[in-house]
Structure 1
Amino acid sequence: MKLLLVTLLVFLINLPFGALRAKHKKFTLMWWIYIHIPVPFVILLRIYSDIGFALYTYPLLVGAFFGGQLIGRKYLARKKDSSNKA
């Protein structure tokens, strides 16, 4: 149960960073920064939730990390699209 809660939190933390990352060209400094800012928060969540760093946690949390970034980026693109049509 803890692992699922932490996975959800990691996903939610990464949503705004995915949206911010979408505003910058790939491989620029700000693009890299918006990918790496949430990493310390994910590490702290792992430590304070006592799920640790077991191998079975990595697929869920890495998937949530990049999934949150992807959905945040797509949400911003959709928002821009709908504002351009109006």
Structure 2
Amino acid sequence: MEINLLFAALSTFVLNVPFGFIRHGFKKFSVMWFVCIHVPIPFVILFRHLFGLGFQLYTYPIMVSAFFLGQFAGKKIRIRREAKKILAQELHAKDIKKDQL
């Protein structure tokens, strides 16, 4: 049973990474922000059934943690990607200024 819980938690984490990535692009507490949080919930319930977890109380902390850690990881990936993009643009702008001198 524990290995099924691990696989379900890992699946939940992986599912939520793209939703966290997308969620970071919307204004906090907007409709789309809430949609990005709530769309994966039916899939998490599906994972619970597919892996035979049911709804035992001891599974909730692990599954909820995997859910929010996936959202958080997706957000951090987007922040890091945007920072790299801005840095690349700044470096490119500096190269252009050097060429003009």
Question: Which sections of structure 1, spanning at least 5 residues, go unmatched?
Answer: none
C-alpha deviation, 1:48, in angstroms = 1.6
Q: Select which of 21, 24, 29 maps to 1:22.
A: 24
Q: Select which of 79, 83, 87 maps to 1:81.
A: 83
**Structure 2 Cα separation of the partners of residues 43 and 57 of structure 1:** 12
* Equivalent residue number for residue 56 of structure 1: 58
* Equivalent residue number for residue 94 of structure 2: none
Q: Select which of 38, 63, 72 maps to 2:40.
A: 38
Segments of 4+ moved more than 2 angstroms: none
C-alpha deviation, 1:33, in angstroms = 0.2
C-alpha deviation, 1:49, in angstroms = 1.2
Amino acid corresponding to residue 45 of structure 2 in structure 1: I
C-alpha deviation, 1:76, in angstroms = 0.2
**Structure 2 Cα separation of the partners of residues 40 and 46 of structure 1:** 10
Question: Which sections of structure 2, spanning at least 5 residues, go unmatched?
Answer: 89-101
* Equivalent residue number for residue 74 of structure 2: 72
* Higher Cα Rg, which structure: 2
C-alpha deviation, 1:47, in angstroms = 1.1
TM-score of the two chains, using structure 1 as the length reference:
0.98
Q: Report percent identity of matched pairs.
A: 47
Amino acid corresponding to residue 45 of structure 1 in structure 2: F
Amino acid corresponding to residue 44 of structure 1 in structure 2: L
